[in-house]
A and B are shown apart, each in its own frame.
Chain A
Amino acid sequence: MSTGFVLNGKTIKSELEPDTPLLWVIRDEIGLTGTKFGCGIAVCGACTVHLDGVPVRACITPISAVGGKKVVTIEGLSADPVGRRIQDAWVENNVPQCGYCQAGQCMSATALLKSNRNPSDKDIDEAMGGNICRCGCYTRIRASIKQAATKGGVA
């Protein structure tokens, strides 16, 4: 059986078992490796993607739940002006250290800014609390979200 969905604007069919998490469909079957494997139980956020615009953890989202829906991964984030602003702020502020968690951080940060154009520190803590950065880039993540928010025209 196959599952059809839209990935970064392109129609895709997965032939993997319906219980296979979206993460492994994206990484192993389709070959987009920007979405990272960190924990497998939705506690680190490295695998965050947008499902119909909502940030979800791909590691616990079975492909059967994705049928007919729109998935955006880090590879498709630049097409979104808010996503692009987040990426630019990340680059400008040298946010990453090892960088492994940053795809997930960017996905969560973009979803935050799309729903809240001027997030407070508390909003940031809540929206980004599911994304772990073991290198500890948090002060720069916070600053970059604020910078991207400002550049969005609201501050």
Chain B
Amino acid sequence: MSAHLDTLMASSPDSAGRRRFLQSLSAAGGLVLIVGHGVGAVAAEPKKYGADGMPNGWVDDSSVFVAIAPDGTVSIVCHRSEMGQGVRTGMPMIVADELEADWSRVKVVQAPGDEKRYGNQDTDGSRSTRHFFTPMRTCGASARMMLERAAAERWQVPVSEVHAKNHEVVHAKSGRRLGYCALAAAAAKLPVPSRDQVVLKDPSQFRYIGKGKIRIVDGRDIVTGKAVYGQDVRLPGMLFAVVARPDVYLGKVVSVDATQALKVPGVLKVVPIEPSPPPANFNPLGGVAVVATNTWAAIKGREALKIVWDDGPNASYDSRAYRATMEAAARVSGKSVRNDGDFDVAYAGAARKVQAEYYLPHLAHATMEPPAATARIVDGKCEVWSCVQSPQAARSLVAGCLGIDPANVTVNVTLLGGGFGRKSKPDFCVEAAVMSKAMDGKPVKVVWTREDDLRHDYFHTVSVEHLEAGLDDKGKCVAWLHRSVAPTILSTFVADAKNQFNLELGMTLRQVAPTIPNVRLENPEASAHTRIGWFRSVSNVPHAFATQSFIAEMAAAAGRDHRDYLLELIGPPQRIDTRTQGDDWNHGEDPDRYMFDTGRLRQVIESATREGGWGKTLPKGSGLGLAATYTFVTYVAAVAQVVVNAKGEVAIPRIDVAIDCGATVNPERIRSQIEGAAVMGMGVALFNEISFKNGRVEQGNLNDFELARIGSSPVDIRVHIMPSDYSRPLGGVGEPAVPPIAPAICNAIFAATGKRIRQLPVRDQLKA
């Protein structure tokens, strides 16, 4: 859930690379509008950060986000996509709080993709709350002030004498009160106050924000089957399609025999979809679609297709061989991405040397809901219904592929049955538009099966992380080398990209512990042979697994307690400008406003270890492990307790996670996100792997891409939210708790068994 096209563009390595990148996006057609936002402005304008730096920025106009019906029902627009992070509860809650609305009379309305109207809608990067907290407050406050003014005018009293309270405006002097229902029409006729006139609440007056007392808005619909996801969209006369896509990335159809497929009852048509030339972008992979009157008929029709494929240039991609290629690259110098002091001299003179290499496989997002999109074309206008994290990108791409103006494309956002970054890439929406066009504009739902999802994902990258450290005679680290080798996300947008770019390098690679005087970071080249995408927490996953495992290895080599060693390595509390660490990306945030605060990192470590019982005596076969990260401008530490039995099976009775994400809006959903991240991180540690052979994904369904189940998940997950206040800028929540989980678990396995895990997933490595 993290990368963003504009961020990608701004982070492209050099002007030639940027030009190439832009050309590739332009050639792709649909994305011109998105990148157009920043083109040409790059040189002239000062760098923008946060919500200002995102395409189409932010909007805080209450007339866009708030409407009050004559019966007093307050409709609040949620313009970001709900995928389980709670945004449909959290964002309207912010508006409702400032509006003094009674939550039981609030209705949440999902916005279609229209960034000019709503501001940026690209729901990834753990950004929704931190970017829209203030704009949403402003919306609510300005609507509240309009209601107060309407009441004051009605009563002919100064507006300073009235105040809004729980869906009414009150004139305390006279005891008069009017409900919002009675004031809505008059208030709507008043001008929206300008931003500098809007008075926000003092945080002590918050009634919903920070309280965590509100139930999620879709809870009852979800448990009664009323909630509508992308797979659930139904339109009169709709058809259903599945697509046979090339098993190998860049493979092409040589010939297709549809005779048998067309005999399947319910199958209506077999339609070729053109393959897209590299780079992959968000374009369809091509293949052959089967359109039918129901999904099952389409699936059976697809099985009956006889297709001859040309597997193309990636036909020999093999995970085992590729690992050896990456390891070879990791053992020699590569592109320097940070070089402070003199690593060679310090390492040569070190009393003790530690080396380790870590391997992390490709991962699939495996959202519970496989991707799906429905499209209909009427009178040259296309309407799409889909589970997308990026409705604006979907709109632009659909317009591009149909050759129509984006104004003639409407993208309706359903609930997302999981996102994790997969549904930021709306290739499935384009497929639906192509299908509808092929069926004369009839509504067509393109259903991805689980096999489609696992074999045609934008995969989390595979990586080899090579680390070397020199310790002095007291065990203190004096030299640090980290070589990270991994196919880059950029390759999805620039076909020949082989180096990680700022966004990836800024994810836990560059943020080396500040006490280490000699630091060398390198990024040798790696070629991509499949579509590389962003998966919840992105490059933080491999980088943090490596660094947090390695620091534990250093502590062991020095004969020190891991926590004490880690705290010493981080050093005394200080606020560090991330640019001094070579990171000018800083998760897109202003480096003066969001500094790397080692004091806050220390506090989450102290909290997690205290709560998790660090130092306590455990039975044989049990152990505690620690890891701590600073990602998405949020500080997280995790302490995992593991039990490894005689058969080498791992159980995780408890995980403690401490998080400092600054001020909180909905602590209840923060807890649930962290509980989920702990389970997902455990899956990354123990089970998850996508591997390739002959260019094809070896896994086919959830029987061989193993996910955490209730019996294998941590039994007790305790979340410790650090106290904060609203003077501190907000941090991300959706992603930051994933990266520390796998290293905490593997460090605990070391504590329990003495066995160091350097390759994920653990799977049967501990078995005799």
Contact = CB atoms under 8 A, between A and B. Distances in A.
B368 A46 contact: yes
Contacts of B709: 129, 131-132, 138
A131 to B, nearest CB: 7
Contacts of A99: 84, 218-219, 222, 227, 415, 417
A78 B224 contact: yes
A34 interface: yes
Contacts of A44: 368, 450, 702
Contacts of A17: 265-266, 296-297
Contacts of B225: 32-35, 73-75, 77, 103
A16 B715 CA distance: 43
A135 to B, nearest CB: 5
A139 interface: yes
Given A39-B450, A134-B368, A136-B676, A106 B223 contact: yes
Given A24-B294, A28-B240, A139-B714, A102 B447 contact: no
A97 B710 contact: no
Contacts of B677: 136
Nearest to A46: B368
Interface residues of B, number: 67
B230 to A, nearest CB: 10
A102 to B, nearest CB: 5
A153 interface: no
Interface string A57-101: 000000000000000011101100000001100111011111111
Interface in A85-131: 86-87, 90-92, 94-103, 106, 121, 124-126, 128-129, 131
Interface string B368-380: 1110000000000
A55 interface: no
A20 interface: yes
B176 to A, nearest CB: 38
User: Of B296, B418, B673, B679, which is in contact with the most chain A CB atoms at under 10 Å from its CB?
Assistant: B296
A40 B702 CA distance: 10
Given A98-B415, A98-B416, A37 B219 contact: no
B368 A87 contact: no
Given A17-B265, A132-B707, A139 B715 contact: yes
A41 B701 contact: yes
A94 B417 contact: no
B675 interface: yes
B219 A96 contact: yes
A151 interface: no
A134 B707 contact: yes
B710 A141 contact: yes
A132 B702 contact: yes
A137 interface: yes
Contacts of A136: 675-680, 708, 713
B216 interface: yes
User: Of B231, B417, B451, B679, which is in contact with the most chain A CB atoms at under 10 Å from its CB?
Assistant: B417
A17 B366 CA distance: 30
Interface string B656-681: 00000000000011001101111110
Given A21-B296, A98-B416, A129-B711, A38 B368 contact: yes
Interface string B203-218: 0000000000001101
B647 interface: no
**Interface range on chain A: under 10, 10 to 19, 20 to 34, or 35 or more?**
35 or more
A63 to B, nearest CB: 10
Contacts of A74: 223-225
Given A98-B83, A129-B710, A91 B702 contact: no
A13 interface: no
Given A17-B266, A38-B368, A96-B84, A135 B418 contact: yes
Nearest to A100: B417
A46 B222 CA distance: 13
B366 A134 contact: yes
Given A40-B449, A44-B702, A100 B223 contact: no
Contact of B369 (A90, A92, A100): A100
B183 to A, nearest CB: 32
Nearest to A88: B223
B232 A33 contact: yes
Contacts of B717: 139
B340 interface: no
B676 A24 contact: no
A19 B702 CA distance: 23
A74 B294 CA distance: 21
Nearest to A103: B225
A27 to B, nearest CB: 7
Interface in A5-59: 16-17, 20-21, 24, 27-29, 31-41, 43-44, 46
Contacts of B231: 33, 36-37
Interface string B432-460: 00000000000000010111000000000
Interface in B344-376: 366-370
Given A34-B224, A136-B680, A138-B710, A98 B234 contact: no
A97 B223 contact: no
Given A43-B701, A100-B368, A136-B679, A131 B296 contact: no
A16 B296 contact: yes
Contact of A77 (B224, B679, B703): B224
Nearest to A102: B222
Contacts of A27: 232, 295
B226 interface: yes
B716 interface: yes
User: Of A24, A40, A139, which is in contact with the most chain B CB atoms at under 10 Å from its CB?
Assistant: A139
The 8 closest A-B pairs by CB, nearest first: A34-B225, A136-B679, A100-B417, A97-B84, A98-B84, A99-B222, A125-B711, A74-B225
22 contacts: A27-B295, A29-B294, A31-B234, A38-B368, A39-B702, A40-B450, A43-B701, A77-B225, A91-B219, A91-B223, A94-B669, A96-B223, A98-B415, A99-B417, A100-B369, A102-B223, A128-B710, A134-B368, A135-B418, A135-B679, A136-B677, A138-B679
Given A28-B296, A90-B222, 8 more contacts: A36-B369, A38-B450, A44-B450, A94-B216, A96-B218, A134-B680, A135-B84, A136-B680
Interface of B: 82-86, 215-216, 218-220, 222-229, 231-232, 234, 240, 265-266, 294-297, 299, 366-370, 415-420, 447, 449-451, 668-669, 672-673, 675-680, 701-703, 707-711, 713-717
